Structure 1
Amino acid sequence: MFLINRNKRFKRIIILNKVIKKEIRNYSEKLKVPEVNIPFSNGRNLNISTGQYARLADGCAVAALGDTAVMVTVVSKTKPSPSNFLPLVVDYRQKSAAAGRIPTNFFRRELGPTEREILTSRLIDRSLRPLFPENFNCETQVICNMLAVDGVNNPDVISINAAAAALSLSDVPWNGPIGAVRVGLIDNEVIINPTRKELQLSELNLVISATKRNLVVMLEGNANSILQQDLLKAIKTGTKEIQNIVSELERLQKAFGKPKRLLETPPELSEEIIEALKSLSNMRVREIFKNYTYDKLGRDYALADVRTDVLEKIRASFPRVFEEEKRCDGHDFDQLRNIECKVDLYKPLHGSAMFQRGQTQVFCTVTLDSNESALRLDPLSMLTSGIKEKNFFLHYEFPPFATKETGRLGPIGRREMGHGALAEKGLAPTIPHDFPFTIRLTSEVLESNGSSSMASVCGGSLALMDAGVPLSAPAAGVAIGLITRYEKSKGSIEDYHLLTDLLGIEDYMGDMDFKVAGTKKGITALQADIKIPGLPLKIVMEAIQKAADAKSKIIVIMSNCLDKPRTERKDNWPVCEKLELEAHKRPRLLGVGGINMKKLFAETGVVVSQVDDTTFQIFAPNQIAMDEAKEIINKLLTTEKAPELEFGGIYSATIVEVRDIGLMVTLYPGMPPALLHNSQLDQRKIAHPSVLGLEEGHEIQVKYFGRDPVSGLMRLSRKVLQATPK
């Protein structure tokens, strides 16, 4: 009996050990970091992993390309928001520690978001937002933290892929995954995810986000007036590369992703309520849209009367264009609104223009200043973008009165920053690299009824030409809209219409806002905001062609106002000249502590900046100030001919100033003071000239040893004339 019980205990122990070993093995397998390596056609790999960091978040993924790595977390509340839109927030943050740097601000810590961080956040947001379910309105936050940056690979595209992975792995409802690549064009060869150096040589900088089956969800980029066929080739190549990313993310999601939450299905309206809404609103809405005499405000006021109770019915009525082949303002699908242009609006401005397209109006001004006024980037943005400073930048403003609203005027918002950056990309390739001035272009939206950013490109181009900036070609921009009959059950587009020159209401109720800017020759910038889960390449290509046709028409209209940059100088145009100066004459020009240059700026407004050892740049606000400054500079540099000093000669020097580090002395009248350092005053080591009893006005004997070959300063010594102490 004892043996039987003992055998049973042994069997239980053996079984228990097997169970424990199995649990340990399963637990250790869970600790392994699941990851995928995604190869690109250029031989480089994108690594995406999960399960190691931030495991309390709904989803987390780390993506790395080269030695640049970004971690993205997703957290979403389970309770729906009372709002009728998706409260999605995307925050991209650059950390100085990721580059092995300490922040240079007073607090030595990261402060508010920089412009680059805001623009990258918007880029990621526009890639993710179209794929959230229509009835999902839970507050969701996506945070992108830069873990490491190598200065070679740009972290923005890596962040999009990491965010797509984090959302796919989470339980947050999302119809992804997507993939993203950056596409460059060097010597007519398409480059996938070019490095920072390759991007500087590229004619194209295009970011593409797409789903499987080559459905594009986001486009943004700038180009050096590339041909349309080159852009189409780049888009096709990029979407093809993305398919590999999407398939690998699907595999990762299938193996390690959480089950998606169930969405709360909104209650459906009964047939009786729908019929009642139709009887109350259908005719009113149709009459509003058929009345082509309405302008923006008139139409808005009319719709406001019925909007509260029948907004969804208005959405349903919007596709009436399919039956009536007319837009709500009476224009055809490909028809531009009326365009008016004016330049040289106010004499004090270096350049100015007003551009009006329908009820969208922008007022643009150009200010030319010295290179000292260039926009300098923070050190981390320099490292990630490869740009140290910008000599051309565009500032976009959208005050509330532009849409007949009230609001607080404060710091620039994300939307304004994004619109300004897009317009800047559209104009930058037309500006010569060797232009001697810093250019600040401002665009203030005075009226808005759709596509104010593209109006800023048109008005900005006119203002730049009015300021005499030698543009390579005029640039213009246009927005292309889209309305579709989208079959949700099939996930496909049954019918569609593209709309040239998008209205505000068409942007609000439509399915796409595709902005394209460029010259007659080619495209300089583009940005696509897509509101349905992906567009076929066929529609993307059609939209680009319609934008090219409209862009050419707009440039013709603009040329009737001003067809080329002004060559006749305005009285208030700034002047820039270079001054070649021998190294030893620099102290005579600058003065002690730069006092001469400070006085010159105070008297004339002229700025003198040093280019290299022998070259200075003189910037004057106008020709009169330049003439005054040149007269003052000539007086500073014109002195009696200096006597030739003999190397090794002994001369009498007059002390003109006593400093902590030595004496300032002159050897002859009119000579700029030269420094006689403490180390050359006496055989003994001294801390201050006063210990030798030397004062201003005293004369001492010094030996002359020529000039320093680099600085051009005199080399003098009093010490060598003293007897060596015994």
Structure 2
Amino acid sequence: MFDIKTVEIELGGKTLKLETGRVARQADGAVLATLGETVVLCAVTAAKSVKPGQDFFPLTVHYQEKFSAAGRIPGGFFKRERGATEKETLTSRLIDRPIRPLFPEGFYNEVLVIAQVLSYDGENEPDIVAMIAASAALTISGVPFMGPIGAARVSYQDGEYILNPSQEQIKAGQLDLVVAGTPNAVMMVESEAKELSEDVMLGAVMFAHEASKKVCGAIISLAEKAAKDPWELATSDAKTAAKDKLKKLIGTDVEAAYKLTNKSERSAALNAAREKAKEAFTDADPQEQMAASKAVKSLEADIVRGAILKEGRRIDGRDTKTVRPIEAIVGFLPRTHGSSLFTRGETQAIVTTTLGTKDAEQMIDGLEGLSYSRFMLHYNFPPYSVGEVGRFGAPGRREVGHGKLAWRALNPMLPSAEEFPYTIRVLSDITESNGSSSMATVCGGSLAMMDAGVPLARPVAGIAMGLILEGKDFAVISDILGDEDHLGDMDFKVAGTSNGVTALQMDIKVAGITEEIMKVALAQANEGRAHILGEMAKALDHTRTELSAHAPRIETMQVPKDKIREIIGTGGKVIREIVATTGAKVDIDDEGLIKISSSDLSQIEAARQWIHGIVAEPEVGTIYTGKVANIVDFGAFVTFMPGKDGLVHVSEIKNERVENVRDVLTEGQEVKVKLLEVDQRGKVRLSMRLVDQETGAELEDTRPAREPREGGDRGPRGDRGDRGPRRDGRGPRRDGGDRGPRREGGDRDRGPRGEGRGDRGPRREREGGNDEGPAPEFAPAFLNRDDND
């Protein structure tokens, strides 16, 4: 039933399997690619005819991750895969960029490439598998595709390149690089690095290309078994004829236009030449008109490329290495946390930095599960930036891709969350564009973060390089213009610091470039990057030490894990009370790291003190400020730390006698107390009289110590005998004896008491006190207890 064809190779210690003939057999080409337990299905379909009047190649690539591939159910209300995520958009571009240049010129049939992740093992990234599957599906489809391409991911750690690294190896390493290429040349590079040298980056690209060659060999083996008959392409000499005619008609006008250094003037002159050409073909048939339109673009390319290769003269008059004039301004906007205006020639970006708390982190729901990102960079490209009328709304694929490139360039220089516990959002709004607005975003983003007080390890700058390639002759040009990008053969973007490269992206419009060309481009980019960093330093050469007055403040504190429950409280009661009372935001993680944030430092301090009180242990001899929680006959219970009460006995309220506690204290009153004792049961004894209630200073204990009674030890009482009947007529005593006069050994022999005690008059003077003197230094044990005991 199935005519199944397969090939297998070893790739980075894993088996890569390509299979066709079992699934999606009605597509022009379909391949099931498996690496480890990651499986991607890619199906290719192509229209059999071209729409009338179409003069461009409509290639569409869709990459989709099925949540079922990782055994997950999508979040949200609808519980199904919906619009493309950022990762899906970026991977779609990753597939599109190396395959688009490999379709022949003049092929305008619509082509649709759909890659779907069916199984994900959490170790082998599906983007590389999807690129390989797409290349294989196109190669066997019969569609005119000058492939195949191979793809590989490389990391770098401890001086060694790692092919097909795991997620853990990527995080631990210094490089995450993806390369796609044909057997003969590199087609595409995408990377993030931690300040690696140009030599290391070039070595990584070549290492990955060697692996991609092996993948190309496997695809060719599969095509030999299962490829469909190739499509026949119609050839036409109409474009060549039209080009010869137009060169005589508008060649001089185009040359003059490209000598104008101002973009607006140049565009106006070129539009006039194009209109002149259009009029010359008004009576021609539609096919000939289309050929003439293409011939105009080809003529422009020849003139621009020839001037660069032969004369070293570029459109705006620069040589191949000069960077356009740069102006950088920081603090451009008054209310943002950080801002910059970066202008390079006719490319300009307003970049802002906003600082937020942990709850502002971006939640990402992907195959790996829920994750959070504390650094976001968003790039916007409105139509007015190029003087055009167009759609204005949600960001397109290009904007997502450019923003991610700038993110990769800046991310390696960010401080850790422990050093700088903020969520960071960088927003780049392109206000003018004539060449590499993504690299302007890198420069402006670096300045805006430094202006906001983000302690970057070093400033980051970026530059876009171009290439003119004719046979063996080539010229690498720095800081390319928009027209040089369109008419050239390479868009090579390099970002980094003074110490090394942090991001590298390359797209080729020809059938690949050699190692020699890449080496020249990297060296020239290094020179340009150093120049741009110098210009940026004129505006700001260090991170500001103070945050903006409008930015939130965040303080961190570490508490023991066993105290987390006490800080949160039952159902979050305690932490909600802290937030509601102090006004500060409080976040706590599973490791006991607490982040307290507010724009008001007093609120942060109040929350910090509250939490400190919860986790701190009472210390004997320490003075605390507390509130009276409950008043009882024998004293008052004072809350001196959050969740901790102690007893101030009536004898410890004042140095003089206190008859009624409520005459001195009220519930809710703030008092200062000294911790005297914590007994074995955890009961706390406090004193107010030893603390100055106004200043909180500790006072000396002026109460005299209690002296022993006269007469010394009275010794044992012995047999007291029969004490006789009670004087009040209540019957005999229970012990059946009359005590009679007291025994010798004291001065208290008062004789038999009379009937009724009557008025005893003033008390006799005692040693160490009087009737209004201080209470004894001790209290019965039953007084030192909670009111609930």
Q: TM-score, normalised by structure 2?
A: 0.73
Matched, 1:344 2:331: yes
CA contact (8 A) 2:556 2:593 kept: yes
Matched, 1:224 2:202: no
Q: How does 1:324-473 map to 2 (within 5 A)?
A: 324-380=311-367, 382-383=368-369, 388-433=371-416, 434=418, 435-473=420-458
CA contact (8 A) 2:561 2:590 kept: no
CA contact (8 A) 1:168 1:174 kept: yes
Of the candidates 189, 196, 210, which is equivalent to residue 240 of structure 1? 210
Unmatched tracts of structure 2, length 5 or more? 279-295, 616-624, 645-680, 683-789
Of the candidates 185, 192, 198, which is equivalent to residue 156 of structure 2? 185
C-alpha spacing 1:269/1:360, structure 2 compared with 1 (3 Å): closer
Distance 1:535 1:128 in 2: 15
CA RMSD, 1 decimal: 3.0
Q: How does 1:202-351 map to 2 (within 5 A)?
A: 202-213=173-184, 215-269=185-239, 271=241, 273-292=242-261, 295-308=262-275, 309=278, 310-321=296-307, 322-351=309-338
CA contact (8 A) 1:360 1:448 kept: yes
CA contact (8 A) 2:304 2:314 kept: no
Q: Which residue of 1 aligns with 2:694?
A: none
C-alpha spacing 1:269/1:236, structure 2 compared with 1 (3 Å): closer
Unmatched tracts of structure 1, length 5 or more? 1-27, 486-492, 644-650, 652-666, 675-705, 708-726
Distance 1:609 1:353 in 2: 31
Name the amino acid aligned to 2:304.
F
Q: Write out per-residue CA displacement over residues 441-495 of structure 1, whole angstroms, 9 at most, x where no aligned residue.
A: 111101000100011001111111111111111111011011222xxxxxxx332
Distance 1:106 1:254 in 2: 47
Query: In terms of Rg, which structure is larger?
Result: 2
Matched, 1:540 2:518: yes
C-alpha spacing 1:249/1:565, structure 2 compared with 1 (3 Å): same
C-alpha spacing 1:672/1:465, structure 2 compared with 1 (3 Å): closer
C-alpha spacing 1:234/1:640, structure 2 compared with 1 (3 Å): same
How far does residue 572 in structure 1 lie from its aligned partner after superposition?
3.0
Distance 2:189 2:455 in 1: 30
How far does residue 629 in structure 1 lie from its aligned partner after superposition?
5.8
3-state DSSP of counterpart to 1:388: strand
Q: Which residue of 2 aligns with 1:687?
A: none
How far does residue 45 in structure 1 lie from its aligned partner after superposition?
2.0
Q: How does 1:70-81 map to 2 (within 5 A)?
A: 70-81=40-51
Q: Which residue of 2 aligns with 1:17?
A: none
Of the candidates 97, 108, 111, which is equivalent to residue 68 of structure 2? 97
Distance 2:567 2:218 in 1: 65
Q: Which residue of 1 aligns with 2:509?
A: 531
Name the amino acid aligned to 1:406.
V
Q: Which residue of 2 aligns with 1:480?
A: 465
Q: Which residue of 1 aligns with 2:90?
A: 119
Of 533-542 and 597-606, the range deviating more from structure 2? 597-606
Distance 2:190 2:75 in 1: 31
C-alpha spacing 1:281/1:370, structure 2 compared with 1 (3 Å): same
Larger % of helix: which?
Answer: 1
C-alpha spacing 1:591/1:196, structure 2 compared with 1 (3 Å): closer
Q: Write out per-residue CA displacement over residues 1-41 of structure 1, whole angstroms, 9 at most, x where no aligned residue.
A: xxxxxxxxxxxxxxxxxxxxxxxxxxx7xx3421111123x
Of the candidates 146, 149, 153, which is equivalent to residue 117 of structure 2? 146
CA contact (8 A) 1:609 1:617 kept: yes
C-alpha spacing 1:393/1:34, structure 2 compared with 1 (3 Å): same
CA contact (8 A) 2:628 2:638 kept: no
Q: Which residue of 2 aligns with 1:169?
A: 140
Distance 1:280 1:54 in 2: 52
Of 507-516 and 620-629, the range deviating more from structure 2? 620-629
Distance 1:152 1:252 in 2: 26
Matched, 1:552 2:530: yes
Q: Which residue of 2 aligns with 1:158?
A: 129
Distance 2:59 2:141 in 1: 15
C-alpha spacing 1:617/1:274, structure 2 compared with 1 (3 Å): closer
How far does residue 163 in structure 1 lie from its aligned partner after superposition?
0.5
3-state DSSP of counterpart to 1:80: coil
Q: Which residue of 2 aligns with 1:64?
A: 34
3-state DSSP of counterpart to 1:282: helix
Distance 1:348 1:176 in 2: 53
Q: Write out per-residue CA displacement over residues 421-442 of structure 1, whole angstroms, 9 at most, x where no aligned residue.
A: 0000000000112321111111
Q: How many residues align?
A: 611
CA contact (8 A) 1:466 1:566 kept: yes
C-alpha spacing 1:610/1:537, structure 2 compared with 1 (3 Å): same
Distance 1:419 1:598 in 2: 41
Q: Write out per-residue CA displacement over residues 484-523 of structure 1, whole angstroms, 9 at most, x where no aligned residue.
A: 22xxxxxxx3322111001001111111111111111111
3-state DSSP of counterpart to 2:47: strand
CA contact (8 A) 1:171 1:259 kept: yes
Matched, 1:503 2:474: no
Q: Which residue of 1 aligns with 2:282?
A: none
CA contact (8 A) 1:61 1:166 kept: yes
Q: Which residue of 2 aligns with 1:47?
A: 17
CA contact (8 A) 1:605 1:621 kept: no
Distance 1:509 1:258 in 2: 34
Distance 1:480 1:324 in 2: 18
Distance 1:497 1:397 in 2: 31
CA contact (8 A) 2:551 2:599 kept: yes
Distance 2:54 2:583 in 1: 54
How far does residue 291 in structure 1 lie from its aligned partner after superposition?
2.9
C-alpha spacing 1:601/1:329, structure 2 compared with 1 (3 Å): farther
Distance 1:370 1:430 in 2: 20
Name the amino acid aligned to 1:158.
V
Of the candidates 554, 575, 583, which is equivalent to residue 576 of structure 1? 554
Name the amino acid aligned to 1:284.
D
How far does residue 135 in structure 1 lie from its aligned partner after superposition?
1.2
How far does residue 636 in structure 1 lie from its aligned partner after superposition?
10
Name the amino acid aligned to 2:328.
C
3-state DSSP of counterpart to 1:138: coil
Distance 2:240 2:122 in 1: 59
CA contact (8 A) 1:99 1:150 kept: yes
Name the amino acid aligned to 2:183.
K
Distance 1:127 1:311 in 2: 22
